[in-house]
Structure 1
């Protein structure tokens, strides 16, 4: 995500500073909620202070009848952006995005509150992402039991969250997720990097939404100590990237990649798509004009993205 919001701490050993972006409370009660989408927070791992925020279209709950057959909704696990070091599932831009997505896609969104660097460097966020998938096996949450189609699950993330969704999927290859069946990945402006600069990074070095120094700082604070930007967590196309694609292909997962031409990371995202396509992974792209995290910073721009996502999910 953008360099706005919480600034990375100067001393990685100290906790991050308070968030500057506003937060939104969950609205679980249909009698008091003002939104057309209901939301609630469910603890995930109290020790790690992680949780999931669920989003459900209000009409789904209002139209539910235990005596009739009710249509189940696709399940989308969503990981927020923030360079691994800032923001939250409760941050208003992500709350609004997930709420709108639940409404337009007619889906249940599971937005994951994961641990942040530098207190919890990668792969902590990946661990939390996969733990959320396992949560489905044991939860008795009504919204999941009554309304979620566990055979139609997608992993999605914005910016750093797109990176998390990708790595969570790679890990899920070897996990027993019980009734949960992953159908594909939805990578929204995914945050990847590398030691060697791309053309778009050099052209947009001082981009107002994601300047190069901000992304460098995010990697410095989030990668394992001693790792550089060619580490597999950062550079998707380096090292074992081809093997990871083989896993995605073997599972039959489809991949949706969204990017903006005004994003310094657009070349990285196109490299990722090229790698997927070269391995035969079914890949759909959605490129548009605009900046990194466009549909988060400008919710009015999300309409066509949601149309493309809805088509992909129903595909």
Structure 2
């Protein structure tokens, strides 16, 4: 948390934004700090990073994370490829965020894996589906890139889409898009989705949202503000972008089942979003998909980013998920 503003009293101020009369916002401060990429081979850092443009007109790019040891290995051993979408409620955050940097660096070391984290346009300047479009464009860039970190060290046949919070929402929706055009993504072969505390919503309050209405990290009133800024104008929180139980496309779920993708959903009961996460997990299971749920007691939304012991547990869950089934 970047300030001491009570989110239940002033959710806009808590997020570091101010409302303007015309409906736009002014970003008062960066809610998340940033860390520059570093590809200096002479440095002692365990993971090298670099940023590569994807669409210059939209100012979108990707940050690559490659474990140093794979660059030095002989013979070359290709690692799983994780496409990681950062969180921030579609309004905040960046692939250059320090939280994202540390999280992806640790995953790259612990799993190990090569990671690509796309930078997507933020709302309300660019409302949904802009973030989905940019994220899908990044997948197309990955499958056709000539960058050696990916072509030499990433196993394109073992690709997973992963995201935290709103990034988990993106991973889910990009999975639905991608499964409808798998042939066009060759040689990229998606094996599953990793939804880490995914951000979903709806007009009806769930029991967990009511129970945690005064949560000091991510109360429902803050989520409401983010959805108001992110969703297309004129729709409510029961739109499919927000509420995955609304208008589920069964044919796409059948295709995911047919592809044999695995899906991991994680959460904790200190997060107001947990009921929605479990609801989606149960729906996917009922449709016959391979779904693993990992839900813990206590915690809060995004707690693995702030507690190294909890992050260690999550990395173990990720490793088991990627090597099982």
Q: TM-score w.r.t. structure 2 length? A: 0.91
- Listed as ranges, the matches of 1:87-236 within 5 Å are 87-175=93-181, 176-236=184-244
1:46-96 deviation per Cα after TM superposition (whole angstroms, max 9, x unaligned): 111111111111111122x4xx4x211000000000000001111111110
Shift of 1:143: 0.5
Q: CA deviation at 1:244?
A: 4.0
Q: Does 1:57 align with 2:67?
A: yes
Residues 72 and 280 of structure 1: CA distance in aligned 2, closer, same or farther (over 3 Å): same
Q: Is the 8 A contact 1:16 1:85 kept in 2?
A: no
Q: Any gaps of 5 or more consecutive residues in structure 1?
A: none
1:22 equivalent among 15, 33, 36: 33
Q: Deviations over 1:252-292 (max 9, x none)?
A: 21100010110000000000110011001011111113111
**Residue 80 (structure 1) aligned to one of 69, 75, 86:** 86
Q: Which residue, out of 298, 301, 320, partners 1:311?
A: 320
Give deviations 1:121-156, integer Å, cap 9, x for gaps.
000000111111101232111100110000000000
The answer to whether structure 1 residue 253 and structure 2 residue 261 are counterparts is yes
Where relative contact order (Cα < 8 A, 6+ residues apart) is larger, the structure is 1
1:293 to 292, 302, 321: 302
Distance in 1, matches of 2:256 and 2:50, equals: 31
Aligned length: 310
Cα distance in 1 for residues equivalent to 2:131 and 2:261: 22
> Please, what is the CA RMSD of the aligned residues?
1.8
Q: 1:41 is matched with which residue: 39, 44, 51?
A: 51
SS at match of 1:47: helix
1:128-187 Cα offsets, whole Å, 9 max, x none, are: 111111012321111001100000000000000000000001111222112000000000
Q: Judge which range, 220-229 or 8-17, deviates more.
A: 8-17
User: Structure 1 CA distance, aligned partners of 2:108 and 2:141?
Assistant: 20
Bigger shift: residues 105-114 or 293-302:
293-302
Q: Is the 8 A contact 2:123 2:229 kept in 1?
A: yes
Query: In the alignment, which residue of structure 1 is the partner of 2:247?
Result: 239
Structure 2's unaligned 5+ residue stretches are 8-12
Q: 1:150 to 1:265 in 2, by over 3 A?
A: same
Contact 1:8-1:86 within 8 A present in 2 as well: no
Distance 1:142 1:164 in 2: 26
What is the rounded CA distance, in whole Å, between the counterparts of 1:302 and 1:241 in structure 2?
33
| Partner SS for 2:234 | coil
